[in-house]
Amino acid sequence: MKTQKQNIILDSINYLKIFLPLHKEFNTFKHIGQAISNPLKVSYISQGKINGIAENTGVKIGNRPTDEQRNKYFTATSIEKLLKKLFVVKTSDESKKMYDVVNNIDDYLKQNLEYKYFVDTDVSGFYSNEPENYNGSCMAGKPESYFKLYDYINDCSRNNVSVKIVGFKSKDIILARGLLWCKTYRDALGGITAKAYFLDRIYIHNKLQNSSFAKLQFELYQTIRKFYKVDLLRAYNKTQIESHILNKYNNTEKFIFKCKFCRPSFAVNVEGYEDKINHYPYMDTFRYIDESEVLSIDEADANKILDQTDGHYTEAEKHCCDECGDYIDVDNSVYSELDDQTLCLDCSVYIDERGEHANRSNTYYNDYSGSYHHEDDLSRA
């Protein structure tokens, strides 16, 4: 199988030789093939390097380099960069020919990927070791301290909630990954009565976002259902997963969708977190912490919103009523342009004849007509 893969890459390069002038160093690039460390790339070794290795270490790289040699000595690069080293591209015609081959080989490498399911329970370690900007996640490669909240959740046994990273890997390359949350329910004696799972947003490697985005999400979803033996699995990417099924299978009548919901069924107790946590991650789903130290999807009573990528959080916007001084939610507050005040619902009234709100204490009520009037609008006749 492997030799076949490499032939396709070499065949494409040979095909380009018909149309494009060769770079003067063309013949020094040896053993071009799919990269071992990153199967989305190609790798090669220069004749100079082969000679150098033989001189310095006595290792001879022969006609069929081993996987170990390819991994250790070869240079991995994108097919685009390699072709630019092999050929001299001047005209737009030549450029088009080259990019046709770049696209074909890229597609080929993507379609022939072999990947494995993985689970990583060290969430903070995983995130902080990720290369930046490879999957569109704004948290990849950030400092480990930003992710301590995940460790805190896993270490706190009272909440009965665990969170881990799940995904697909091809060699060392992460193709897809997401957070899997699990809440364990117990009876009075501590015996497990039920488990609820939530598969958070799935991030896909940039190279695969156009071609295999929905497919990888669906496969990861199905893999987790099998792995943890869950029938109904709530998932952030419910819409994409279901539309993949609709595209893939013509007869969806007998297909039972196993997602149903895109939000989790439980919240997470993070009691005492403020003593231990100094930085916060950006979170896709569980992003609101309220005063009773519960992390949830519920915005209503939140005082922290975990929507920042720099280790900070957003302070939930709370207004103070300018009349009575009570704290009020944004949803339950009214701004009166007339009185230039933010007011709670108790302290404001709607003045029909003006079509706007006012501070109740600045208004008069007309018992005869049943309407409010602003004091500025009234004068003795």
Contact set with Zn ion (CB under 5 A): 321, 323-324, 344, 347
C-alpha–C-alpha distance, residues 146 and 128, integer Å: 9
Q: How many CB atoms lie within 10 A of CB 233?
A: 21
Q: What backbone phi and psi angles, to 5 degrees, belong to 117? A: -75, 140
* Residue 314 CB contacts under 8 Å (≥ 6 apart), including other chains: 304, 305, 306, 307, 308
Question: H helices within 213-359, ranges in order?
Answer: 213-227, 238-248, 273-276
Question: With contact defined as beta carbons under 8 Å apart, do 283 and 261 qualify?
Answer: no
Closest by CA position to 286, among listed 182, 168, 381: 182
Beginning with the edge strand found earlier in the chain, give each strand of the sheet holding 29-34 in spatial order: 29-34, 42-46, 75-77
Q: Can you name the residues that pair with 139 across neighbouring β-strands?
A: none
* Residue 325 CB contacts under 8 Å (≥ 6 apart), including other chains: none
Compute the half-sphere exposure of residue 26: CA atoms within 13 Å on the CB side of its CA.
14
Q: How many CB atoms lie within 10 A of CB 267?
A: 17
Handedness of CA 56, 59, 65, 66 (dihedral sign): negative
Q: Which is nearer to Zn ion, 212 or 336 (by Cβ)? A: 336
* Helix (H) or strand (E) run with residue 185 in it: strand 173-186
Strands 268-269 and 203-204: unpaired
C-alpha–C-alpha distance, residues 353 and 264, integer Å: 46
Question: With contact defined as beta carbons under 8 Å apart, do 102 and 40 qualify?
Answer: no
Tokens in use for 252? 């969806």
Amino acid in the structure at residue 75? T
Question: With contact defined as beta carbons under 8 Å apart, do 333 and 342 qualify?
Answer: yes
C-alpha–C-alpha distance, residues 89 and 83, integer Å: 9
